[in-house]
Amino acid sequence: MKALRSVTAADSDMLFEWRTKPEVAEYMYTDHVIQRIEHDAWFAKALDDKSRAYWIIVVDDRDVGLLNLVDIDQHNSRCSWAFYIADSQLRGRGVGAYAEFEALRYVFEELELNKLCCEVLGFNAAVQKMHGRFGFTQEGLLRQHMMKDGSYHDVAVFGLLRSEWMERRDALEADLSRKRVFD
């Protein structure tokens, strides 16, 4: 069973552990080992910032990842999002698809925003492909945009409009249900 729950103050230690795992940090923009003081400052701001929202991804009553919205902008009716699965054994098993569907549903049906954006490091082909399956359009490529491990990396910029989501929603939900992603 998969679910999302809101991040609470009690999640700080767990999130610090996740954010410093090499297999999670590899796909983050941060190019250094996050120190505890840096994490604590980020976490305090994250919980207090109304332009952000954070959820823990839960599988079978076990916390396994983070989903977040940032730059929630009601005036321009858009925001950006990201997620990660901290439990590497669950990657490729539908948890990311579940998280993506729930993020889209929340942004377009509850917040009623017009656009959801995201950025993906160029070497993260699996997530780029998943975004494409959900209807995201690659709107740009930021060449050599991020430095990680001493090398520059491209960043792919994606966007999805509410109208595109509404056209695809039912088919996506049916497909994910067949694949038992919601179980």
**3-state secondary structure (DSSP) of residue 114:** coil
CATH level 3 topology of 2-178: Aminopeptidase (3.40.630)
Query: How many angstroms separate the CA atoms of 30 and 148, rounded?
Result: 8
Give the domain ranges of the chain.
2-178
- Per-residue confidence (pLDDT) for residue 145, from 0 to 100: 97
- Per-residue confidence (pLDDT) for residue 89, from 0 to 100: 84
- Per-residue confidence (pLDDT) for residue 172, from 0 to 100: 96
In Å, how far are 33, 107, 156, 160, 163 from 140, measured between CA atoms? 29, 21, 6, 13, 20
- Per-residue confidence (pLDDT) for residue 114, from 0 to 100: 98
- Per-residue confidence (pLDDT) for residue 17, from 0 to 100: 97
* Strand runs labelled E in the chain: 2-6, 53-59, 62-73, 78-85, 115-121, 137-148, 151-161
Residue-by-residue pLDDT tens, the chain, 183 positions: 899 999 999 999 999 999 999 999 999 998 899 999 999 999 999 999 999 999 999 999 999 999 999 999 999 999 999 999 998 888 778 999 999 999 999 999 999 999 999 999 999 999 999 999 999 999 999 999 999 989 999 999 999 999 999 999 999 999 999 999 888
User: In this structure, which long-range contacts are made by residues 100-105, counting pairs with CB atoms below 8 Å and at least 24 apart in sequence?
Assistant: 100/130, 100/131, 100/134, 101/134, 101/172, 101/173, 101/176, 101/181, 102/4, 102/67, 103/67, 103/69, 104/134, 104/160, 104/165, 104/169, 105/169
